[in-house]
Structure 1
């Protein structure tokens, strides 16, 4: 029997009708409430003429009814496109224009933004539904209908949603995610983490970020509670800690910068969060000293590093950290492939490299996206068959496999630079810099300044509360960890490093920060 993502909610609604499913800032939906809201959304979009497989753009803040809109679109046989309501109108217009949705669903807070977006789009604007009761096509809480029959022809291998990520050309690229790729990860995650009915799970990432896909569907499949974390807590570390504590969360999942931020402000007390059972992170490297800080504070919690690009659906590998790292200068591995996934470390000819040697990381298996929305050229370049015809995704990440078969992430292929005649991995410098006592967060970027020296290496960092670290001291400490030719020539101490909408360090912004200044071989500080 075929399965779709919307079936996860339908099954749990039958078993756990009166239990909380979604907990927002001022509204809680039981499984029965959510199932009814999803039916209502499905009937409304079908009533507006949604055709099988068509896209529905959802421009709304993270809230219970927004999630109902996502799942309701699936139940109606469509595919949803979550759009960042905090994004600039020009970028939102590019995404909506590229997705060509038949319907746009919007909440009251995003109506002004949508008006700007529609003004920028050529031709006839799409139909607009509303997620608030002041609109003519409002999704009210009454008159909930029986579930509609799924549109014919929508199969598990068909599109469930489009997630737009940053493109190297500046144009967002749409990654196609299907029902079966999400289900493969959810099935593995439920087995691995043992999520059970009544668990209280964080919903921290924005809905246009793929980590939220795991939060939503794994939680609903388990009959657990998804507690939506308000976006405002992103700049309030003590408020975030209070949220975890007050909601008695059993699982927290976020990008590493959130964990770093809480550590910086010492927001987590010894043996804090007694209900918390597991803490997961994904998206970028968590500095080992930050992880050690958390593990010492929360000895009762299980810590797991997840790794994987959007193109491979949520995550492709896992590593459960067995103990507080004895050497905080050693990065945490990305571990082993999830069930149904495959990690390969290959050379330039797509041949496996021996254990211990560095190669490029490729991913195969159940999580692979069909490719990029209406961009066959990018799809062919990124998704390549091996000699046996198996389709693989080229991550652009460098890695090595140790003798035990555990995979270690070593940085980006495009983070390899040539400076003063040396080939240098910026990720190696960054990993070493993260171990300097007092460093809260750091990043290393390369700036092409021309001339015989090649790329100028630049380091940016922020300082943990209670520490004073001028750039000259940081430089001196780093020379104890890496060769002198790898020490950044230019430095910037910042109160906070720039982050993109997904909470990751914004490296293009850092490169812009360094680009105007002339190259120098002397350490300089600045804000």
Structure 2
């Protein structure tokens, strides 16, 4: 087992340098090429003052170049912080400031965001830009401190690194209930433990071709990338535009001869909804994996009836416990569309605990809150000790030592067969299209819109592929007549697209309960009734 993540690349480069590591739309890199490029980048960063443990942000579309940059950041002894190019500039600024990054590596159509990050009144002080784009960043108000030509001038050989397994590998920012994104710290050991377990359990090898579907700021991408590198397999990057083109996405799976598909369930729903899967389709496919939210059993049956050859595995786990903490591989196609699919058993070295409010195990069949213990548990949230203490509790079975359990906020039960079943959320956090969304963060952004006097957000179940629909009820200020288009546009300046409500309704006054607080249950019923009526008349 390696000490640090980047060792997987070096090992594969030594064994099979001509083997394809990453196949992307921009370029294809062999293991030898990605080793050389990442070594040059690491030397360039060190030469320019990047020190052990510095946080380096990555702002570029998913590409072979981006993957090489991630490895190079690790080799420089630094911590990788992915930024979503589609996020509003304000959110990017908050993340860069929160993690104290002094460098951002960038490429692609991100010039406007870079200008906002580096120039003007809201710029992040002292932020240097490493421009990795093939075309020079001309006509922009920022001046790159590092270019591809300068990187290429450095030696490509191996270089020593002081990073150890317990050190942070990356910080993944998720939705925060206070309105500020939370940075989840993941160590090299966290990642290595899960990937090595998964490599053994799924039998990953050099002849595998793994999908790279998830965006880089989403934690599933860590398994896409390093699951492939640990096995010496090929990572096949899925073009993001195919997410709204079901039949072209299916064509990609066929033409790339993928042996493993891994995504959030909404993608599987989408392909099923548009009937993009033929009987006996995807002959090279060996495994279909999903994680991030519940996959409806009818969708699973749709897939399994058409594809009898791959194995289907449900993975479960929040970002705070590193990619996934439990698994359930279907023994056969479910016979009942109403039968729930368990989240299963804990991955090797991890534990799923279903506990009552006093942190005692609940009897089998009874509902409790899911806690996770073991090798995947994060050290906590970056520079946020209060949030860390609230979510990462001392393990009640082991006293006040260093062993901790993570409170997921999910409800679950243990079935008679010993498998764990997911029952839903206990708080205001929801998942839509696989993204974790704190309703509080959406409401915090809404409260900043000057033409609203009151607003509230609820989530309702969607019959589509989204999983959940965000719905906003609002009261406009006197004299203001904002339309849903106006609200989406203004809110989109503060939040990424996946966090914007899909349904809007104006009220003279929001419903309240006996305590005078907003009655969210009543608000939810209003949207559910409207959705039901719309469906009947469709």
- When normalised by structure 1's length, the TM-score is 0.81
**Deviates further, 43-52 or 112-121:** 112-121
Give the aligned partner of residue 126 of structure 1.
127
Given that 2:97 and 2:124 are in contact with CA atoms closer than 8 Å, whether structure 1 keeps it comes out as no
Give the aligned partner of residue 149 of structure 1.
159
Give the aligned partner of residue 51 of structure 1.
51
Query: Which of 368, 372, 377 is the aligned partner of 2:381?
Result: 372
CA distances 1:367-415 after superposition (whole Å, capped 9, x unpaired): 0100000000000000001231330000000001112211000001126
Q: What's the CA shift for 1:125?
A: 2.7
Equivalents in 2 of 1:415, 1:169: separation in Å?
12
Q: What's the CA shift for 1:40?
A: 1.4
Q: What's the CA shift for 1:142?
A: 4.6
Alignment of 1:45-444 (within 5 A): 45-118=45-118, 119=120, 121=122, 124-133=125-134, 134=136, 137-140=146-149, 142-143=152-153, 145-147=155-157, 149-152=159-162, 154-387=163-396, 388-389=398-399, 390-414=403-427
Unaligned runs of 5+ in 1: 417-425, 431-444, 449-454, 465-499
Equivalents in 1 of 2:428, 2:99: separation in Å?
31
**Deviates further, 135-144 or 216-225:** 135-144
Equivalents in 1 of 2:464, 2:372: separation in Å?
36
Given that 1:93 and 1:120 are in contact with CA atoms closer than 8 Å, whether structure 2 keeps it comes out as no
Equivalents in 1 of 2:460, 2:232: separation in Å?
45
**Deviates further, 132-141 or 275-284:** 132-141
Report the secondary structure of 1:197's partner residue: coil
Cα distance, 1:107–1:406 mapped onto 2, change above 3 Å:
same
Which has the bigger relative contact order, CA under 8 A and spacing at least 6?
A: 2
Report the secondary structure of 1:509's partner residue: coil
Unaligned runs of 5+ in 2: 138-143, 433-438, 444-455, 466-491, 512-522
Equivalents in 2 of 1:56, 1:463: separation in Å?
38
CA distances 1:485-522 after superposition (whole Å, capped 9, x unpaired): xxxxxxxxxxxxxxx9xxx9968725x63685875779
Equivalents in 2 of 1:178, 1:120: separation in Å?
34
Report the secondary structure of 1:115's partner residue: helix
Q: What's the CA shift for 1:461?
A: 3.4
Equivalents in 1 of 2:377, 2:318: separation in Å?
10
Equivalents in 2 of 1:85, 1:398: separation in Å?
33
Report the secondary structure of 2:388's partner residue: helix
Equivalents in 1 of 2:66, 2:297: separation in Å?
36
- When normalised by structure 2's length, the TM-score is 0.79
CA distances 1:256-286 after superposition (whole Å, capped 9, x unpaired): 0001011110011111100001000000000
RMSD, matched Cα: 2.9
**Deviates further, 93-102 or 110-119:** 110-119
Given that 1:43 and 1:148 are in contact with CA atoms closer than 8 Å, whether structure 2 keeps it comes out as no
Equivalents in 1 of 2:460, 2:406: separation in Å?
30
Cα distance, 1:83–1:341 mapped onto 2, change above 3 Å:
same
Give the aligned partner of residue 513 of structure 1.
504
Give the aligned partner of residue 473 of structure 1.
none
Report the secondary structure of 1:513's partner residue: strand
